């Protein structure tokens, strides 16, 4: 009986492995196809836009041609101001993201692990959450001036809530059955947290990080609109004041590119950390 | 190790789930707890394991009355309950302490015992139900528990895997002579594995009858004696009153 069991199990395993390999190349191929399909409409739209701009259907002072926008970006890259703007904006988002995440991890862990802390903090945090975060802007400027601190705080506030909420729901949602297994092996509370609860809460935490980062990019625009001398948000204001729509659109495009890039990095980390997960995309 | 359950009762929200259960397990004995659903089989097992300490009465392991979880007790649950973020091998070493290499060596030995020596690097999502349950068995056995508690461990498996794992359990039992308490609702399983079967009945569950199975192992699943015992058990369970 037992020997039969060993045999069948090895066969099953090797089958699975070869199936997986086959699946992967197949998926890569399909990935390329999806990329191709997904880019047809954007490319066509850009082409139509370029043509319509050139024949003068869109007036250049309202909607400049894509080539004009690219040229603006190229010029900014050449004189170095582009890297300056991108650098300072990314720096603000990064610092705000780090502070917001640290605060969320500390408070989220407390609230997730201790019932008392939940009763103490959670109602207040939930109340703060229902304040539209942009409403803080005047207060932060009043407190901290229009320098870096108020902007970074603004972004940190934006990042805090999704990270906090997802972490708390991750921790409180850990399967009680897995905790029981840990208890059966004599783990103490600290070991239980480290070896069972944290790994189990990780997927939800990473989701929180990603949506937090998204909000960080949203808030940096708000922070830079309210007063800045550098940054992509400042380019938006500059474009408005100097009546150059190409600067505004160039800034929007740059936001899209770096926002997507930073999300992609987090997604990569997520994929690596959650290799074990059983979901459609990965298995 | 011997195990004694003395006058154990357990209520949930004022409603009694089990009432005044007592029995004694000799070292190395396999005891089956059999009953229809809702009669408190699992409640008893959780009380013995220490996962639930809200019961009345005493549970003594080797004569010592303790309510906490003991290192010497292993528990195999109805579901595999593997940690999805650990590989099969890491799942098996989860409960072990000490040197990493030693842990891996003994985990590999147990994986081999359950026929999964090749699968150490897989994640639980890549396993079939029977494979996952075998990993759970290896994980419970690797700490060499002297008392092994099983809560309907094979109930979610197909008939063939089930028989295979029952034989595996007997192999392990022969090698380590653990005391085993097996909760089950499968009469054939209890007859095949157990030295003694304790029948619980009613709500709250009460000890209704103890049946000693004297048949030598390996037992023939289709033997006349076992069939006679089965008839006796069916009669005492009084299935006309069955609630589930």
pLDDT digits (tens, 9 = 90+) for B179-191: 999 999 899 999 9
Give the count of domains, chain A: 2
Q: Which residue of B85, B95, B126 is in closest CB contact with A185? A: B95
Q: Which residue of A183, A185, A283 is in closest CB contact with B125? A: A283
> Model confidence over B155-177: pLDDT tens digits?
888 888 889 889 988 988 888 88
**Cβ–Cβ of A4/B164 closer than 8 Å?**
yes
A279 found inside a domain:
no
* Residues A27, A72 within the same domain: no
A278 found inside a domain:
no
Full domain range(s) for residue A269:
61-273
* Residues A121, A24 within the same domain: no
Full domain range(s) for residue B186:
1-22+34-72+146-154+178-206+229-244
* Residues A36, A128 within the same domain: no
Least-confidence region, from A21-25, A67-71, B201-205, B225-229? A21-25
Q: What pLDDT sits at residue A26?
A: 56
Q: Which residues contact B9 (CB under 8 A, 6 or more apart)?
A: B16, B18, B19, B20, B21, B55, B56, B57, B204
Average pLDDT, chain B: 88
Give the count of domains, chain B: 1
B36/A255: higher pLDDT? A255
Cβ atoms of B202 and B36 closer than 8 Å: no
* Residues A72, A111 within the same domain: yes
Chain A residue numbers with beta carbons less than 8 Å from the beta carbon of B51 are 180, 183-184
* Residues A6, A91 within the same domain: no
* Residues A28, A116 within the same domain: no
Q: Which residue of A5, A184, A276 is in closest CB contact with B69? A: A184
* Residues A84, A136 within the same domain: yes
Domain termination residue (choose one: A43, A58, A73): A58
A281 found inside a domain:
no
Where are the extended beta strands (E) located within chain B? 3-12, 15-25, 30-34, 56-61, 64-65, 73-76, 147-151, 179-184, 196-201, 206-212
Q: Which residue of B73, B118, B123 is in closest CB contact with A13? A: B118
Mean pLDDT of B197-226: 88
B172: closest chain A residue by CA:
A2
B5 found inside a domain:
yes
> Model confidence over A261-270: pLDDT tens digits?
999 999 999 8
Work out the minimum CA distance from A265 to partner chain B, whole angstroms.
21
**Best residue in A12, A17, A181 to probe B by mutation, most B CBs within 10 Å?**
A181
Q: What pLDDT sits at residue A282?
A: 46
* Residues A103, A238 within the same domain: yes
Q: Which residues contact A220 (CB under 8 A, 6 or more apart)?
A: A89, A92, A93, A96, A151, A155, A231, A232, A233
Any chain A CB within 8 A of the CB of B158? no
A265 found inside a domain:
yes
Q: What pLDDT sits at residue A10?
A: 38
Chain B residue numbers with beta carbons less than 8 Å from the beta carbon of A278 are 84, 125
Q: Model ipTM?
A: 0.87
Cβ atoms of A235 and A245 closer than 8 Å: no
Handedness of CA B6, B3, B107, A192 (dihedral sign): positive
Work out the minimum CA distance from B7 to partner chain A, whole angstroms.
24
pLDDT > 90 in chain B, percent:
41
A66 found inside a domain:
yes
**Cβ–Cβ of B116/A202 closer than 8 Å?**
no
User: Which CATH number covers residue A92?
Assistant: 1.10.3720.10
Chain A residue numbers with beta carbons less than 8 Å from the beta carbon of B73 are 184
* Residues A47, A120 within the same domain: no
Domain termination residue (choose one: A23, A40, A58): A58
User: Which CATH number covers residue B66?
Assistant: 3.40.50.300
Domain termination residue (choose one: A16, A31, A58): A58
B131: closest chain A residue by CA:
A9
Q: What pLDDT sits at residue B217?
A: 84
Q: What pLDDT sits at residue A19?
A: 45
**Best residue in B93, B125, B151, B154 to probe A by mutation, most A CBs within 10 Å?**
B125
Q: What pLDDT sits at residue A27?
A: 55
* Residues A123, A209 within the same domain: yes
B118 found inside a domain:
no
Q: What pLDDT sits at residue A25?
A: 52
A187: closest chain B residue by CA:
B95
Q: Residue B56: pLDDT above 70? A: yes
B170 found inside a domain:
no
* Residues A91, A106 within the same domain: yes
* Residues of chain A predicted below pLDDT 70: 1-30, 278-283
Distance CA B220, CA B218 (A): 7
A275: closest chain B residue by CA:
B85
Q: What pLDDT sits at residue B241?
A: 55
Cβ atoms of B194 and B32 closer than 8 Å: yes
Chain A residues in contact with chain B using a Cβ-Cβ cutoff of 8 Å:
1-2, 4-6, 9-10, 12-13, 16, 177-178, 180-181, 183-186, 195-196, 199-200, 202, 274-278, 283
B68: closest chain A residue by CA:
A186
B159 found inside a domain:
no
B115 found inside a domain:
no
**Cβ–Cβ of B94/A276 closer than 8 Å?**
no
**Cβ–Cβ of B124/A275 closer than 8 Å?**
no
Q: Is A162 helix (H, G, I), strand (E, B) or coil?
A: helix
- Cβ pairs A/B, distance under 8 A: 76
Question: Is residue B126 exposed (0-12), middle (13-18) or buried (19+ Cβ within 10 Å)?
Answer: buried
**Best residue in B126, B128, B167 to probe A by mutation, most A CBs within 10 Å?**
B126
Q: Residue B216: pLDDT above 70? A: yes
Distance CA B74, CA B48 (A): 11
HSE (side-chain half, CA atoms, 13 Å) at A67: 7
**Cβ–Cβ of A277/B84 closer than 8 Å?**
yes
* Residues A250, A149 within the same domain: yes
**Best residue in B70, B72, B80, B83 to probe A by mutation, most A CBs within 10 Å?**
B83
A283 found inside a domain:
no
Sheet holding B64-65, edge to edge: B15-25, B3-12, B56-61, B64-65
B194 found inside a domain:
yes
Q: Is B231 helix (H, G, I), strand (E, B) or coil?
A: helix
Chain B residue numbers with beta carbons less than 8 Å from the beta carbon of A10 are 118
User: Nearest Cα to A233, choosing from A100, A99, A90, A94?
Assistant: A90
């Amino acid at each position: 009986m037992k020997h039969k069991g060993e045999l069948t199990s090895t066969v099953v395993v090797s089958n699975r492995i070869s199936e997986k390999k086959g699946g992967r190349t197949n998926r890569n191929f399909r990935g390329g196809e999806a990329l191709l399909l997904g880019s047809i409409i954007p490319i066509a739209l850009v082409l139509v836009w370029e043509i319509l701009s050139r024949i003068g259907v869109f007036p250049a002072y309202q909607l400049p041609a894509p080539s004009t926008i690219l040229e603006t970006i190229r010029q900014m890259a050449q004189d170095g101001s582009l890297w300056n703007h991108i650098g300072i904006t990314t720096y603000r988002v990064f610092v705000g993201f780090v502070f917001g995440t640290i605060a969320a991890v500390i408070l989220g862990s407390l609230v997730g692990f201790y019932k008392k802390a939940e009763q103490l903090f959670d109602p207040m945090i939930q109340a703060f959450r229902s304040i539209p975060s942009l409403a803080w802007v005047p207060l932060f400027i009043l407190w901290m001036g229009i320098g870096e601190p108020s902007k970074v705080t603004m972004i940190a506030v934006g990042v805090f809530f999704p990270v906090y909420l997802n972490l708390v729901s991750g921790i409180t949602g850990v399967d009680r059955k897995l905790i029981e297994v840990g208890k059966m092996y004599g783990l103490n509370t600290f070991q239980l947290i480290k070896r069972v609860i944290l790994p189990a809460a990780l997927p939800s935490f990473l989701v929180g990080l990603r949506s937090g980062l998204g909000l960080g990019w949203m808030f940096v625009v708000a922070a830079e609109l309210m007063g800045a001398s550098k940054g992509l948000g400042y380019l938006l204001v500059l474009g408005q004041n100097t009546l150059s729509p190409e600067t505004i659109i160039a800034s929007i495009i740059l936001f899209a590119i770096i926002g997507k890039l930073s999300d992609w990095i987090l997604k990569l980390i997520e994929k690596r950390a959650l290799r074990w997960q059983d979901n459609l995309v990965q298995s | 190790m011997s195990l004694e359950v003395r006058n154990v009762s357990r209520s949930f929200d004022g409603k009694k789930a089990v009432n005044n259960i007592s029995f004694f397990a000799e070292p190395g004995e396999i005891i089956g707890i059999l009953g229809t659903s809702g009669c408190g089989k699992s409640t008893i097992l959780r009380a013995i394991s220490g996962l639930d300490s809200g019961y009345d009465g005493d549970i003594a392991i080797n004569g010592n009355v303790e309510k906490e979880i003991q290192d010497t007790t292993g528990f195999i649950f109805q579901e595999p309950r593997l940690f999805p973020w650990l590989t099969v091998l890491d799942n098996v070493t989860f409960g072990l302490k000490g040197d990493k290499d030693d842990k891996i060596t003994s985990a590999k030995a147990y994986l081999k015992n359950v026929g999964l020596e090749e699968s150490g690097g897989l994640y639980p999502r890549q396993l079939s139900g029977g494979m996952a349950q075998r990993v759970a068995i290896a994980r419970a056995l690797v700490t060499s528990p002297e008392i092994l508690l099983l809560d309907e461990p094979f109930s979610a498996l197909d008939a063939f895997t089930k028989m295979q794992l029952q034989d595996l359990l007997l192999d392990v039992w022969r090698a380590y002579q653990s005391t085993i308490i097996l909760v089950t609702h499968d009469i054939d399983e209890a007859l095949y594995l157990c030295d003694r079967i304790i029948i619980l009945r009613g709500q709250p569950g009460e000890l209704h009858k103890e049946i000693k199975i004297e048949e030598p192992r390996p037992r023939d699943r289709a033997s006349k004696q076992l069939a006679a015992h089965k008839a006796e058990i069916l009669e005492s369970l009084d299935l006309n009153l069955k609630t589930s």
